[in-house]
A and B are shown apart, each in its own frame.
Chain A
Amino acid sequence: MIDALARLLGLKEGDAGAPLRSLRWVVVDCESSGLDPARDHLLSIGAVAVREGRIDLADVFNAVLRQERPSEGGNILVHGIGADAQLAGREPAEALGEFDRYVAGSAPAAFHADFDRALLARALPGWKARWLDLAQLAPALYPARARECKSLDEWLAGFGIWHPARHDALADAYATAQLLLVLLVEAERQGLATAGELYAAQRNRRWLG
């Protein structure tokens, strides 16, 4: 009962106190029709699970959501989902339901997590979870590198993570998940043993940043 309540509030203590390795992290990347998560449409979701410090290539999620009207203009160049693909996507309710089951009981993570959280909060109003933001966590763990690295691309390049096709939601989530593998190892090396300590490190960074 308390667990369920805590989970609803995104405060599940069991998770926050769990050792880093035992958690199932779900690294999410959303593509949208624009840069305003409060107004623009969710076009696609890519997600990759990380458990025991490993990405499981069989445990991934990918869906392009069908749009009533395809978004137009310049942003297609960014997300790369053409008008035809938008119209041919999956029924949103069904895909979102599947995503809801995919992330259930797991800890979501993203790079600039506020954006993905805002998009998904509109699409899945019932889902509450505490997000790990790698854009905050990475500079907290690697303050020296943070002077050079700001964007996801810069962090990936900094760790030599090769990513063939960025700006496909799944490929971006995969690249971000590889960054999470690096950060989890570094976090353990710095003595951060639980998710709670990770969230704290990221919060401190936010205040400093």
Chain B
Amino acid sequence: MTSLHEATIAALKAYPPFDHVGASSLRFLAARLQLGYYPRATAIVTPEGGVVQTMYIIKQGRVRGFASGGSEARAAADVALGAGECFPLGALAGRRAVVYTYRAEEDCFCWELTADDFHKLVQRSPRFSAFCRGHVAALLERSQRALCADAGETMAGGMLRPLREVLSRAPVSCAPDTPVREALKTMHDLRIGSMVVAEDGVPKGIFTVLDVLDRVALPRADVSAPISSLMSGSVVALEEEAPVVEAALAMVHHHIRHVVITRDGRLTGVISERDLFGMQRISLRRIVERVRIAQVVPQLAEAAAGVRSLAHSLLAQGVAAEQLTQMASALNDGIAQRVVALASQKHALRGEWCWLALGSEGRLEQTLATDQDNALIIADGSSRQVFLAFAGEVNEALAACGFPLCKGEIMARNPKWCLSLEEWRALFSGWIRNPQPEALLNASIFFDFRALAGEARLAGELRSFVLRAASGNKAFQRAMAASALQSRPPEDPLLPFLSQAETLDLKGNGARAFVDGARLLALAHGLAATSTAARLRGAAKAGALPQAEAAAFVDAFHFIQMLRLRRQYLEAKVAPATENQVTAARLNAIDQRILKEAFRQARILQQRLQMDYAV
């Protein structure tokens, strides 16, 4: 291998997947590469060129992939590629011609590999093969894993803590010659699931309650025999400095429920499957319990802080954005419900009513920095004053729990948003009949409503009404589509970073395109779901878009949400004004790549809306 091959390998290793491809595969690759030059505006590979003969890896410069003869509307789906990126992987893997034309946007140098060698590389390297198969999926997984590793350095809790920090009590052990009867009695008295058999502190075996049935009871074993005759002699032990996750892996790997913990080979504790998986549930249970029994607002504020730290630890453990926001939303729902229940006892509320969560809370997509958005359905206008006083108390209590008051006063204490079912219907049908900009803005918050407390039936009736009115009104749908197209996901999210002062708005330029698009699809197709992912999946089921496309949108949306969560939870002291902003320094190469793909998906969704609603 020459120094040139070494330098080429070093350059490739700056980019995925080559940073994870094995050394021998990299040598194989470097020895077969050619380097080509394409000045700006050169077509590098075209559909007319027939079955693709070459894989290109951009060494320097920028390449654009676009559908040939594409109208302007289709330009949304263009692919912008930069240094380190490979193309056209799909066509190579499928041994077909490209669909897109790939053209040099600036003067480019590309490393080139023949199709034959490409297929040999796929055979040799599972990493490379996985990369080509599930391009985006593989990247997502990698990002998730990198996130866990990053977070491990800064977080106090979770699966990366050393085992010694999660051991709560002194281990119970007995000598090998202890009679079985005596060992069982100790386990029963102390209510423990396992007994370590140790000699001079060195673990020799383990006996668990599950062993009682098939080793003692069924064979009618002699309970006066020494425990060493019935114990499991092969102990899985870990040193106490090992991370918690290793114990979890050991349990999965050996099909066991207990792992013995040692310090320098001497017993210091036992950790059970229940301890491990309880770690999350314990704090979850504790929060739920605290909320259930809370009698005053400060107790709920404490629980709300607990939700925040739990979300932090789950995010750091690599829990995906969808599950995380759903869990945080469910807990926050519990807090809000308890706040509403406590306040409702102090006011003489007459008739049926329903407390509504709006906006991101209504969509179950609350991130940390969300203001409260809520409203009330009341029985009739005559009791409004009582409900306004009640709502005022709830709004203040929620603020005390860390959900800031809404600056635009979209809260139930505002007489505008404390209405009877009749009044809500009139208001909503006005917005739908006359979709002025302000009506559309309101629709984007209010039409994501969800019952939080009180009579859910009222919210259900209002939902059916909105769906009927909106699904039958093409002019309203067109206006919503036009409004959904106002956020423009950048073609290449890395571009703003080229001028240093600029940052990227993940919410306005990223998440909003999916949220708005999903809302429109739900309203137009009569779907009652309020979460963006559920709406997109529902729209696919209803035949409004292909399943695969919906799945790609959902992945892309969740990736952007995860970046937002990460920014809000894992980075200390984020100024509220910049909580949805990212800068290049915060994104590694994989994240940059996925973000680009996520923005492309956003543009594809917008393009679909543009065509379907003739905007």
Contacts and interface: CB of A to CB of B under 8 A. Distances in A.
Interface in A150-185: 159-162, 164-165, 168, 170-171, 174, 177-178, 181-182, 185
Interface stretch (B29-37, B206-214, B230-238, B563-571): B29-37
B448 interface: no
Nearest to A189: B39
B103 to A, nearest CB: 15
Contact of B60 (A56, A162, A174, A186): A162
A170 to B, nearest CB: 5
Contact of B37 (A48, A58, A168, A185): A185
B3 A170 contact: yes
Contact of A164 (B5, B7, B30, B39): B7
Given A57-B33, A159-B107, A181-B36, A165 B60 contact: no
A57 B34 contact: yes
Nearest to B112: A54
Given A58-B31, A160-B107, A162-B60, A174 B37 contact: no
A60 interface: yes
Contacts of A189: 39
Interface string A44-60: 00001000011111101
Interface string B159-179: 000000000000000000000
Contacts of A185: 37, 39
Given A57-B8, A159-B107, A165-B7, A170 B35 contact: no
A32 interface: no
A20 to B, nearest CB: 13
B4 interface: yes
A186 to B, nearest CB: 8
A202 interface: no
Nearest to A174: B4
Given A62-B2, A159-B107, A178 B7 contact: no
Report which residue of B3, B5, B8, B31 has the largest number of chain A beta carbons within 10 angstroms of its beta carbon.
B3
Contacts of B11: 164
Interface in B1-58: 2-5, 7-8, 10-11, 30-37, 39
Nearest to B106: A160
A56 B31 CA distance: 9
A186 B38 CA distance: 11
B428 interface: no
B109 interface: yes
A205 B32 CA distance: 37
B36 A168 contact: no
Interface in A53-108: 53-58, 60, 62
Report which residue of A181, A186, A189 has the largest number of chain B beta carbons within 10 angstroms of its beta carbon.
A181
Contact of A182 (B2, B31, B37): B37
Contacts, number: 61
A159 B8 CA distance: 19
Nearest to A181: B37
Interface string A10-50: 00000000000000000000000000000000000000100
A48 B34 CA distance: 11
A131 B10 CA distance: 32
Contact of A178 (B8, B31, B35): B35
Interface in B79-127: 107, 109, 112
Given A159-B107, A162-B60, A57 B36 contact: no
Nearest to A165: B7
Given A168-B3, A170-B4, A178 B33 contact: no
A64 to B, nearest CB: 11
Contacts of B4: 48, 57, 60, 62, 170-171, 174
Contacts of A182: 37, 39, 107
A186 B107 CA distance: 12
Nearest to B32: A58
Nearest to B111: A57
A177 B112 CA distance: 16
Contact of A60 (B2, B37, B39): B2
A62 B4 CA distance: 9
Nearest to B38: A185
A160 B34 CA distance: 19
B3 A54 contact: no
A53 B112 CA distance: 12
B34 A165 contact: no
Given A62-B2, A62-B3, A57 B31 contact: yes
Given A160-B60, A164-B7, A171-B4, A178 B37 contact: yes
Contacts of A162: 60
A185 B3 CA distance: 27
27 contacts: A48-B4, A53-B36, A54-B34, A54-B112, A55-B34, A55-B36, A56-B34, A57-B8, A57-B32, A57-B33, A60-B4, A62-B2, A161-B109, A164-B10, A164-B11, A165-B3, A168-B3, A170-B2, A170-B3, A171-B3, A171-B4, A174-B4, A178-B35, A181-B109, A185-B39, A186-B39, A189-B39
Interface of A: 48, 53-58, 60, 62, 159-162, 164-165, 168, 170-171, 174, 177-178, 181-182, 185-186, 189
Interface of B: 2-5, 7-8, 10-11, 30-37, 39, 60, 107, 109, 112
Given A53-B36, A57-B5, A170-B3, 18 more contacts: A54-B34, A55-B34, A55-B36, A56-B34, A57-B8, A57-B31, A62-B2, A164-B7, A165-B7, A170-B2, A171-B4, A174-B4, A178-B35, A178-B109, A182-B37, A182-B39, A185-B37, A185-B39
Among all A-B residue pairs, the 9 with the closest Cβ atoms: A181-B37, A55-B35, A54-B34, A57-B33, A54-B36, A56-B34, A58-B31, A62-B2, A170-B4
